[in-house]
Every structure is written in C-alpha cells, then in structure tokens.
Amino acid sequence: MKKPPDPSVQACKKKLNNPNSVVFQTISQDQSGQRVDNFLLCCLKGVPRSHIYKILRKGEVRVNKGRVKPTYRLQADDILRIPPIRGFENEDNKSKKPYANATLSTLLEQRILFEDKGLLIVNKPSGLAVHGGSGISHGLIEALRVMRPECEGLELVHRLDRDTSGCVILSKKRTVLRELHELLRGESTRKLEKKYTALLMGRWQGREHLIDAPLKKNVLRSGERIVRVSSEGKESQTRFKIIRQFKESTLVEAMLMTGRTHQIRVHAQFSGHPILGDNRYGDEFANKLMKRKGLNRLFLHAASLEFKLKCTDQKIKVSAPLDSELEKVLKALET
C-alpha cells in the first residue's frame, strides 16, 4: 500500500500555484532535526537552490518570527514562515523537471551498493555532483528521484565533492535520515565510520599519521569557496594509514574523525603530501606529471562505510571498488 503524501509537504508545494501567499508551517516531531534549507529544497521543488538561499539570506524565511541560518535544524512545534515565491509557479514546465537520461540511469543502477526500504547507498562516479545548483542542472539526487519516483522522501544524508567518487548514503525515510544525521554529528564518538582511498604526492614515511589541524571556510573575491588550516577554525582530525609506496607517490587510507568540508584534501596538503589530481589544493607540477600516467581527475575515493541503525537494529557495511581509471593509474605507477 502506497504511503499517503505528507500533508505539510503538499501544503508547501501548493505555493507554486499560489505564489503570492505566505505559508506558516508548524514542524512536526517527524520533521524535527532537519536543516531548514533541506526542508525548503524538498518542499519547494522547481524553485532554484539559489533563490531558496537568497530568501534565507534576506531573512524572508523566519522560524518563530526570527531569522535563521540555512544550517538551522528545525525543532518540533517550530513555526516556519515561508514567504511568497514568485516566478516559479508553472509546475507544468517539463523542461525544469529533473532529468536522468538512459545512460546515466543505467550507470547508477549498476553502481547501487545497498538498498532496502529505508536506505539507498550508491557508488557515485567522479564528475557527477551530488545535487544541482551553481550552473549544474541536475545531480545524483535529482537523477535518483526520477529513477525512484515512489520514494517521495528520498534525501541526501551527506555530500561528496563533485570530483570525488565512492559511497554516498541517501535516506528514504525521515526516521532513518534523522538517526544518520545524529551519527554524523557524533564527532569524536562517531559511530558512522567512513574510509577513503587517496593517492598522495611524494613518499610519506611511517605507517600511520594523525593530522589534527582546525579548518576554517573562506570565500574568495571570485566567490570560490576554499578551506584553510586556521587556529580560528573548527576542530578537525584525519587519520592516514599507508597502504602502498610508489617511487614518487603514496597510496593511503584516510579515515575521517570529524566531518569538515574538503577535510581530507586540506589535511593532505597541510601534511606536505597533497592529493594527486587536486586542482584546488594540489601541486600543479605533480598533477601535470600524473596526467602522463593517465590521471585526469582527483584521486580520492570514498571506499567504505560502516554503521548501525537503532531504528532497524541493522548493521550495515558496504565498500565501493576503485573505478577502473584509478586502477589503471596504479598499474602505470608499477612500471
């Protein structure tokens, strides 16, 4: 039996037909814990991400009559004010609907690592953004929503950089999403273990290295977001384990102890061994040399995930094999 649509979500969607109205939405217990930006993105499908962040930034979206940041997590009984949404009311405009062509759909179906009634875990290919925005018409989440139209509550649990491949978790149920977010916010006592495989510049001596360096986000004049090590930043820890040494590079396993934007990439740079193929935090000369070996992307791969859900009493462990292009690079380094 198909689950009836969430009436609160349906109420928000009606704003596309009534663009001049203001909606006051009372947050239910089931919706609590969700970021306000993600709530609006889910409810106001068809409205560009840039517009949603604009109304948040201007203070047109209010919670309990006060301004909130996009990262604010809604609480049960919060009163959310959604302002008039004009200019995006034509829900019959098919050209604005998320699109997943046959090639992408086939590729993603082949890269599904785990799926049940509450979860979907995919081995995301490099080059595919996790969501649309900033000039990108659609990403992983939009494509999967087209592929799984029956999953009305399909949401990203976390994100990967566009150039990073590997494990991405999506939830189908709000209860699962809320519990996974709690696991991700566990910080030093986190119960969701994420491991990555990366190829670093140079030979890194030793067996293991713990990089403990606070990270702070910065925005350049160009609008580009960049992360730096800074005493004013948030606590950040990454454990690197040496897997294999090559003549001028090192293959490592990186385990996140905290979850910051670009954390592995910046900590690798900070260690003096940036990730090869990294055009933002890497070494330009080393990247050029690696192109001769066939590396035309960031060598960073979300290799495995392990966690346990209390709501289902289920322990989940998945791993994503390295893409063939990265395997070829490793073989080229052996010669």
**Is there a domain that residue 90 lies in?**
no
CATH number of the domain residue 168 falls in? 3.30.2350.10
Which of 175, 197, 217 is the last residue before a domain boundary? 175
- Domain check: are 254 and 297 in the same one? yes
Contacts of 65 (CB under 8 A, 6+ apart): 79, 81
Q: Which domain holds residue 260?
A: 187-334
Whether residues 202 and 237 share a domain: the answer is yes
C-alpha neighbours within 13 Å on the C-beta side of residue 202: 12
pLDDT, residue 291, reads: 95
pLDDT at 92: 38
Which residues on neighbouring strands pair with residue 198, listed in sequence order? 252, 300
Q: What is the pLDDT of residue 85?
A: 79
Let me know whether 42 and 162 are in one domain: no
b/e per residue, 109-146, with b = 16+ CB within 10 A? eebebeeeebbbbbbbebebbbbbbeeeebbbbbbbbe
Q: Is residue 96 part of a domain?
A: no
Structural domains in the chain (count): 3
Residue 2 located in a structural domain? no
Catalytic (active site) residue 161:
yes
153's CB contacts (< 8 A; 6+ apart) are 6, 171, 172, 173, 174, 177
Angle 183-184-186 from CA coordinates, rounded to 5°: 65
3-state secondary structure 183-244: HHCCHHHCCCEEEEEEEEECCCCCCEEEEECCEEEEECCCCCEEEEECCCCECCEEEEEEEE
Domain harbouring 20, CATH code:
3.10.290.10
Phi and psi torsions of 200, nearest 5°: -105, 155
37, 78, 161, 283: the active-site residue: 161
- pLDDT, position 11: 54
Q: In angstroms, rounded to a whole number, what is the distance separating the alpha carbons of residues 196 and 212?
A: 17
Q: What is the pLDDT of residue 207?
A: 94
Is 279 within 8 Å of 288 (Cβ atoms)? no
Note whether residue 91 is domain-resident. Answer: no
- Bridge pairing between strands 300-309 and 165-171: parallel
The predicted pLDDT at position 1 comes to 47
pLDDT along the chain (335 residues), means of 10: 52 52 81 84 78 90 92 90 71 45 86 94 94 68 88 88 95 89 66 94 95 90 81 95 96 93 96 97 96 96 94 90 96 90
Considering the domain architecture, whether residues 192 and 327 belong to the same structural domain is answered as yes
Question: What does pTM read for this prediction?
Answer: 0.74
